[in-house]
Amino acid sequence: MKLATRLTILLAALTIVVAFSVGWFAVSLSSRSQYSSLDASINSVVVSGIGHPNTALSDALNVVQEQHYDLTLDVIDPSGAVTQVNSANVMPTRSPTMAEVRASLGRVRSVANLPGFRIRSLDVGGGSFLVVAGSTSAIAQQNRRLALSVALVGVLAALVMPLLARLLMRRDLLTMGQLIDYASDVARGTESGPIPPGLGSRDIRELQAALATMVEALHRRIAIEVESVESMQQFIGDASHELRTPLTVIKGYNELLSSPHVTGAQQQRAMERVQREIERMDSLITDLLLLAELREVPQSANDRVALSGLVDAHVEEFRVENPRRSVESEIEPGIFVLGRSDYLDRLIVNALNNIVRHTGEPVPVRVSLHRVGNDAVLRIEDGGEGLPRYGLRPQRFARLDSSRSRETGGSGLGMSIMLDIAEALHGTMTTSKSPLGGLALVFVWPAAA
């Protein structure tokens, strides 16, 4: 059952309950008021004769006639005979018993032997009693008419109120229906066009805004998942290709070594080539494991690392291992970052090893580390040939020029590893043209206090 139908039924039921409750209260209040008025008229007649029994009958009759009361006045003698003094529009068809007469001396009451009437009696002497009786049939008839009117009004209200409510809520219900259909289309993946506008009340507008936010987040999540799957498929394909190459070389040389005609020199060259391919596979697998680890974004990367000391130590080691290179360094002391020292160590080693692998010994190198605002900025530059294009995001296994080939020992993962390390530690990496003529790697991390 739809929400609109449930609301209509609920509103109709509530309207009926409220209408009948109010009607019952009105009928009850009207009935009590009319009974009180009847009792008051009976009492005024009786009170006029109290204290002077000789004139009680004439006094009571005068009050009835003067006030135009529709009351019956009967005199009942000790023998039970009834003498009617005044008749009303509705006459009693029976007489009360003497016991009922005596019981009504003190107040107006209803008696079993005279249904549909209210009576009160007055002792007029000689054992006789004046009985003042008023019919309640007019009250009952008026109450029935009032109850019928209330019932009709309740039924009419139960029909009109839901229609009026639906008319007032028509825009809200229409918009809600459109949002439900749109959400169903989103769940089935068949939505087309923008989300329906949030027309109507504030609640509907908030619902539309929340649904729009959810759908936008869902689309972003789906896009990320699709991109991740595509990236993973490409990564798996590239990794299998990179691993297949050394395995093919090892297999070929293994067949060569198994030949009985191989010479000692050929055997030596084959063993050296197999050893290089094994080392290359080991390096490649190590890089792949590191990339997989970096993809998980380490939660423990919150150690306070002395970046200044780490960079300075690697620069000095680079100078010792490359004495023929011109190495400039400008390292600001006392710079710390939050991260992991082993990741930062690997990043710096990768950057410097790339320079050794892809540039000649005379090529100059410059390393600088400065604090810029709240950031630590590390620049590692060389005077080599640089890259064909700068500013692009590194792709795994992608070699950016012909000099960076398998034969030089590169796997195409070095730049990707450095980028993933920088981002895993909440930083960035960019490439640009160095004033030295070659590549400038720029790393930026939030500086720790």
Per-residue pLDDT at 225 exceeds 90: no
What's the confidence (pLDDT) of residue 104? 92
Q: How high does pLDDT run on average in the chain? A: 83
Q: Does some domain include residue 123?
A: yes
What's the confidence (pLDDT) of residue 109? 92
Q: Does some domain include residue 44?
A: yes
What's the confidence (pLDDT) of residue 182? 80
Last residue of a domain, one of 97, 124, 158: 158
Q: Does some domain include residue 218?
A: no
Residues present in the chain in total: 449
Nearest CA among 6, 4, 15 for reference residue 158: 15
Reported confidence tier of residue 409, pLDDT bands at 50, 70, 90? very low
What's the confidence (pLDDT) of residue 433? 92
Beta strands at 303-306 and 327-331: parallel, antiparallel or unpaired: unpaired
Least confident window among 67-76, 216-225, 263-272, 291-300: 291-300
> What's the mean pLDDT in 71-97?
89
Q: Does some domain include residue 258?
A: no
What's the confidence (pLDDT) of residue 281? 78
Residues 146, 41: contact at Cβ < 8 Å? no
pLDDT: is 239 or 43 the higher one? 43
Last residue of a domain, one of 131, 158, 185: 158
pLDDT: is 358 or 441 the higher one? 441
> What's the mean pLDDT in 9-34?
84
> What's the mean pLDDT in 239-254?
76
Residues 393, 411: contact at Cβ < 8 Å? no
Reported confidence tier of residue 293, pLDDT bands at 50, 70, 90? low
Distance between CA atoms of residues 413 and 144, nearest Å: 95
Q: Does some domain include residue 208?
A: no
Q: In this predicted model, what pLDDT tens digit does every residue of 154-194 receive, in sequence order?
A: 888 878 877 877 777 777 777 777 788 888 888 887 777 78
Least confident window among 50-59, 338-347, 438-447: 50-59
Q: What is the CATH number of the domain that holds 361?
A: 3.30.565.10
What's the confidence (pLDDT) of residue 214? 86
Q: Does some domain include residue 257?
A: no
**341-358 and 307-321 helices cross at what angle (nearest 10)?**
30
Least confident window among 138-152, 208-222, 405-419: 405-419
Q: In this predicted model, what pLDDT tens digit does every residue of 44-67 receive, in sequence order?
A: 999 998 888 788 889 889 999 999
Q: What is the CATH number of the domain that holds 43?
A: 3.30.450
Nearest CA among 146, 85, 89, 83 for reference residue 117: 89
Q: Does some domain include residue 246?
A: no
Residue 36 structural domain: 3-158
- Give me the phi and psi of 386, to 5 degrees please: 75, -160
Residues 166, 8: contact at Cβ < 8 Å? yes
Distance between CA atoms of residues 389 and 369, nearest Å: 24
SS3 sequence, the chain? CCHHHHHHHHHHHHHHHHHHHHHHHHHHHHHHHHHHHHHHHHHHHHHCCCCCCCCHHHHHHHHHHHHCCCCEEEEECCCCCEEEEECCCCCCCCCCCHHHHHHCCCCCECCCCCCCEEEEEEEEECCEEEEEEEECHHHHHHHHHHHHHHHHHHHHHHHHHHHHHHHHCHHHHHHHHHHHHHHHHHHHCCCCCCCCCCCCCHHHHHHHHHHHHHHHHHHHHHHHHHHHHHHHHHHHHHHHHHHHHHHHHHHHHHHHHCCCCCCHHHHHHHHHHHHHHHHHHHHHHHHHHHHHHHHCCCCCCCEEEEHHHHHHHHHHHHHHHCCCCCEEEEECCCCEEEECHHHHHHHHHHHHHHHHHHCCCCCCEEEEEEEECCEEEEEEEECCCCCCCCCCCCCCCCCCCCCCCHHHCCCCCHHHHHHHHHHHCCCEEEEEECCCCCEEEEEEEEEEC
Q: Does some domain include residue 281?
A: no
Per-residue pLDDT at 147 exceeds 90: no
pLDDT: is 313 or 20 the higher one? 313
Percentage of the chain with pLDDT > 70?
A: 89
Contacts of 448 (CB under 8 A, 6+ apart): 304, 305, 336, 337, 338
Distance between CA atoms of residues 409 and 228, nearest Å: 28
What's the confidence (pLDDT) of residue 9? 80
Per-residue pLDDT at 299 exceeds 60: no
Number of structural domains (the chain) is 2
Nearest CA among 92, 50, 54 for reference residue 74: 92
Distance between CA atoms of residues 60 and 131, nearest Å: 10
Task: Kindly calculate the radius of gyration of the chain based on its CA atoms and give it in whole angstroms.
Answer: 53
Percentage of the chain with pLDDT > 90?
A: 30
What's the confidence (pLDDT) of residue 33? 92
Per-residue pLDDT at 364 exceeds 50: yes
Burial class (CB in 10 A: 0-12, 13-18, 19+), 162: buried
Least confident window among 44-58, 59-73, 102-116, 227-241: 227-241
> What's the mean pLDDT in 287-306?
68
Per-residue pLDDT at 405 exceeds 80: no
